[in-house]
Every structure is written in structure tokens, then in C-alpha cells.
Structure 1
């Protein structure tokens, strides 16, 4: 969620495209299935909670949808909710691609705010910026207009007395590193044909990934659990295309 701001050392979309070495590349990016914390509206970054029964149905649905596709590589956040989602999808693939579980693809770290009611955290952000809590929605929009959406998340970090919560800039750079790693690994595969890569991550962090590649994606986009977002890079080009955003698989 970089609000169009470019961090020092952050790569431009065309620089990330160059790691594909001219090959066509399609990224299927999946948000993890619904968890207990999602259902209970708790802050869930690096903390975790079990997948719900509805979430398991979501995994089965998205696995069925993606089972018709061939993937050359797969990458997932190493947190249990993403690992469980990825493993459900991989079980439906034949052949299963080489898979890496990595901390690079984790959600934003919310520090001491982890597992707190989201409404309480946002209320503190609103008060910190001098607004009344009973004007929550309009206040958040006004704050976002003043300091950007990255400013909202930086306020969460500033209110974290443990010092563990990530600033927006750190998350942007982690998204940059994750994409370099994924695209480079794909571009290094033998051959010159089109490449297909599966990525399983988290709602907020997927938005950070998308804005590295397709900056016109708005930072307040909300991706449903187990939705599929598709980004493609045509062969011998450096311009990424957003082919699908937060698409949900039909139930069987």
C-alpha cells in the first residue's frame, strides 16, 4: 500500500519484469481461506488462527478451479493459514509444482495490536488524528486523504509500544523483495515458453504486491478470502497487466 510513493531502493514495475528474462509470466495470487480471527474481526497479521469450516469449503472450491491449470512454481507465506490453503490447492494439482514457503509473503506485522478487535485499533488511529470515534468511516477517509493509506498503517505502527509493528515502507520493501525472488526464480527455469506461478498470501500484503506491479490498483481494495487475483506479463514486454481482481471460485 504505497500510495504512489516510491521508496529508495524500491524497484519499478518494469525493473521487476526484467527478472522474467523476456518470458511470458502469469501470476495467480490467492488470499488464504477464512479463519476464526477473520470471522471475529480481530487483527491478524503474523498471529494466526484456525481455518473455519467455511474456509475449508473455500479451499476446496478454489482448488477445484485451479486444478485445471499447470503451474511451474508455487510460493506461499509460511504462516499456518496460508500453508493450509496452499496445501489444499497443491493437492488438486497434477503434477504438483516445486513449492516454497517463505516469510517474505507474510501479512503486515501489527505488533502488540495482533489479535485485538479491529474496531478498537482503528478507533485509536482515529483519536490519534484528532477525530471523534463515532465518525469512524468518514474520519478514516479524511485521515487517508490527509496522510494516505500508508499513513493510516504507519499510525498503527506508531501506536505499538512493543516496536514490532511494520511501517508501511518496510512492508513495501518486503513486497519488492518477494516479487524479485518469485519472478527471478521463474525466469531462471529452463526453456523459453510461458510460465505460470501460484502465490498464496494475505489480503493486505497481496495489495502491496499488486501495487508494486500495477500501481493504479487502489490501496483500499478488499480481497475476499480464497479469491484469485491474476497478473500477467506478456513475452518480451515490461508492462504488467491486471487480468482479474479478487475473483471468487463458484461452489460445486
Structure 2
């Protein structure tokens, strides 16, 4: 039976690591006051959108965003919230907590990168997302950073799980992370994307082939938004 679902992917609200331009990955930092406000605005904008199910990464910044979104909605959707570790951010191994500008040193043989790269989405203009993940694993002294195969196996398992629990026409909310959303958009469109804004919404459609179609990307939601 053909089954089509719509996935509403939200990047968590702003954190202190975001403001300090630090690599966050599986590490965590608290939402800033601005991040709390962003999540509240998002919750208000999603008030009238009925979700069949809600999922969140197990990292604190994602769960904190989910808590705020549904405290603003004033409904019982938090009862439907399921924590799924598969929707964590990419793991950067020993580079977690480093300044983002270290990315310019990741490919030391490329002089262009040494002077121009300030964050991961900028780096993705020069190297493929998968090559970047593989390079993190290669140069990480612990070799614990995720490579492309490990990252996509984890993420794909998460989306397969969501699809297996869904019904045709379901609208499903997933609170997750910026690089994961960006990599997903790049994977299914074949073009590179900037990191989505904190507490922004990106919408994908998924069918029985498990392929996704990007409907909208990096949309800031307010009460007047049309979804």
C-alpha cells in the first residue's frame, strides 16, 4: 500500500555554543534567552497544525526546544513525544567543543579552505558532505568521530522507524539539529545548503521508497505563517 507522510524537521533553538561559534555535535549547551524565545515563537506558529506524532533527538537542546514548543501549544502533544537518539547531530569525536574555524584546517592540502572557511556549511561548498564526515573520522586522534557510513546508517534507521509507525497522510514533527537537516536537504536535492536558522522549519515528504522530497527549507515560523 502506498503511504506518503510529511516530516516537519525543526532545528533546536539557539544555544551558548552557537553564539560562541563552537562545534557542538553530541556535546550540549543550554538554550540562550534568545533560543528560548525562538522556541516559544515556533510553538505559537505551530498551534493550529495537528501532528500525528512528535519525535526529538535525545540531546538536551532538542528536548528543551520540544518542551517549550508544546508548553506554548497548550495541548497534550507532549504525551506523544518520543525520544529517538538516531536524530542526534553528527558526532565530531575529539573535536567537540572546538571553535568552528578549525574546519579550515581539516583539509590542509587545500589552500582555498585555509583562508575562506568559517563554518561547516561553508566547507560543504568545496567538499562533499560525506567527504567532510569521512575526513573528521580520519584526522580525529581517537577515530571516534562519525564517518558518512556511520552517520547515515544511524539517521536512516531513525527515519525508517518513524515511517514504520506512521499512516498515510500523517504530519510528523521531529526536533533535531542543523547539520543533520542540512545534510538531508543536500542528499535529496543534490545541491548544497546553508545551515538552517535556529528554531526554523524544513519540510520533507517521504514515500514507501524511503526517498524524500524537500518541500521547503529553513522557514521561520510565526503565528501568521501558512503551513
TM-score (norm 2): 0.85
Q: Deviations over 1:175-222 (max 9, x none)?
A: 2111101111113xxxxx62111101001112334456xx11534432
| Equivalence for 2:22 | 42
Structure showing greater Rg: 1
Q: Where in structure 1 are there 5+ consecutive unaligned residues?
A: 1-20, 188-192
| Equivalence for 1:8 | none
Q: Deviations over 1:156-186 (max 9, x none)?
A: 2212111210002211121211110111111
Aligned match for 1:154, one of 116, 130, 134: 134
Aligned match for 1:225, one of 198, 209, 212: 198
**Aligned equivalents of 2:107 and 2:163: distance in 1?**
38
| Equivalence for 1:112 | 94
Assess if the C-alpha contact under 8 Å between 2:39 and 2:199 holds in 1. Answer: yes
**Aligned equivalents of 1:157 and 1:201: distance in 2?**
22
| Equivalence for 1:94 | 75
Distance change >3 Å, CA 178–CA 32, structure 1 → 2: same
Distance change >3 Å, CA 117–CA 93, structure 1 → 2: same
Q: Where in structure 2 are there 5+ consecutive unaligned residues?
A: none
Please identify runs of 4+ aligned residues in structure 1 that moved more than 6 A.
140-143, 236-239
Aligned match for 1:124, one of 99, 105, 111: 105
Distance change >3 Å, CA 25–CA 113, structure 1 → 2: same
Q: Deviations over 1:42-96 (max 9, x none)?
A: 0000000010000011001100011111111111100000000111122215241
Assess if the C-alpha contact under 8 Å between 1:51 and 1:81 holds in 2. Answer: yes
1:68 aligns with 2:48: yes
Secondary structure in 2 matching 1:43: coil
Indicate the larger mover: 158-167 or 31-40: 158-167
Q: How far does residue 38 in structure 1 lie from its aligned partner after superposition?
A: 0.4
Q: How far does residue 141 in structure 1 lie from its aligned partner after superposition?
A: 10
Secondary structure in 1 matching 2:28: coil
**Aligned equivalents of 1:133 and 1:245: distance in 2?**
26
Assess if the C-alpha contact under 8 Å between 2:66 and 2:175 holds in 1. Answer: yes
**Aligned equivalents of 2:88 and 2:56: distance in 1?**
8
1:249 aligns with 2:221: yes
TM-score (norm 1): 0.77
Give matches, 1:178-189, under 5 Å.
Answer: 178-187=158-167
Distance change >3 Å, CA 157–CA 23, structure 1 → 2: same
Aligned match for 2:63, one of 67, 83, 89: 83
Distance change >3 Å, CA 101–CA 220, structure 1 → 2: same
Name the Cα RMSD after superposition.
2.9
